[in-house]
Amino acid sequence: MTRIDRKFADLRAEGKKAFVAYVMAGDPDYDSSLDLIKALPAAGVDIIELGQPFTDPMADGPTIQLAGQRALKAGQTLDKTLQMARAFRETDDSTPIVMMGYYNPIYNRGVERFLDDAKDAGIDGLIVVDLPPEEDDELCIPAQNAGLNFIRLATPTTDDKRLPKVLQNTSGFVYYVSITGITGAAAASATDVAPEVARIKASTDLPVIVGFGIRSPETAQEIASVADGAVVGSAIVKLVEEGKSTSEIVAFVKGLAEGAHRA
């Protein structure tokens, strides 16, 4: 049982939905980013998505793209992201960390070495948006064998024929993308999301967490009410871009978490 599995078991026992927060590692710099992720659990964040900056983030909107550029410019590397996870683990051994990004940096490092390093650093799961299920032998299966959850994305265009393929080796949770398009592009709607979540849950026992287009406590609550939890990324990263202090960002995150937990 991974930290992710334990977290969802605990939340179910408490009758609560999950709140997941995305932060770009190294944005605007290593120390500020580390301070922020260390503060997230006390703000009510159940799972941290730690973005690995990449030069060609094709699934991300402008806010996340710019965050990655800032992080790379500040010298963020895969090594530094793993070190950030290790530093977080020095004071928190229970909050799950999911590394989210693209396959190229992992491929360049070597899959076996990367998985050893990720496990050692305290990473619990991976979301790699440019590896389809047809490539599961490349990273997904080795990751599962190493004890890491491999979390897959389902979208509004994932039809009933495609869904079983998406779910077949997924673990930890399913990340449902609430809108068609890039991150930060539109507002999520519980009315649209509810039937899609129900369709996915009819095919899997895994929790279904919904992300993209959630920017307020009210929307977090609405979305979490029809799913197993909500993810917020762009709205948090935007505050980093605006130069808000860690305390200001944490206050915003706390409101979002409270919204999801009220669902």
160: annotated active-site residue: no
Q: Which two tokens stand for residue 77?
A: 């590397």
CA-closest candidate to residue 44, choices 221, 183, 234: 221
60: annotated active-site residue: yes
Q: How far apart are CA 23 and CA 112, in angstroms?
A: 25
Q: Could you tell me if 72 and 55 are in contact, meaning their C-beta atoms sit under 8 angstroms apart?
A: yes
Catalytic residue, candidates 5, 27, 46, 49: 49
DSSP structure string for 5-68: HHHHHHHHHHT--EEEEEEETTSS-HHHHHHHHHHTGGGT-SEEEEE---S--TT--HHHHHHH
Q: How far apart are CA 92 and CA 13, in angstroms?
A: 21
Alpha helices by DSSP H, 122-180: 140-145, 163-167
Q: How far apart are CA 92 and CA 94, in angstroms?
A: 6
Q: Which two tokens stand for residue 232?
A: 């917020």
Q: How far apart are CA 26 and CA 33, in angstroms?
A: 5
Residue 230, strand partner residues: 19, 210
Q: Could you tell me if 212 and 178 are in contact, meaning their C-beta atoms sit under 8 angstroms apart?
A: yes
Residues with catalytic roles: 49, 60
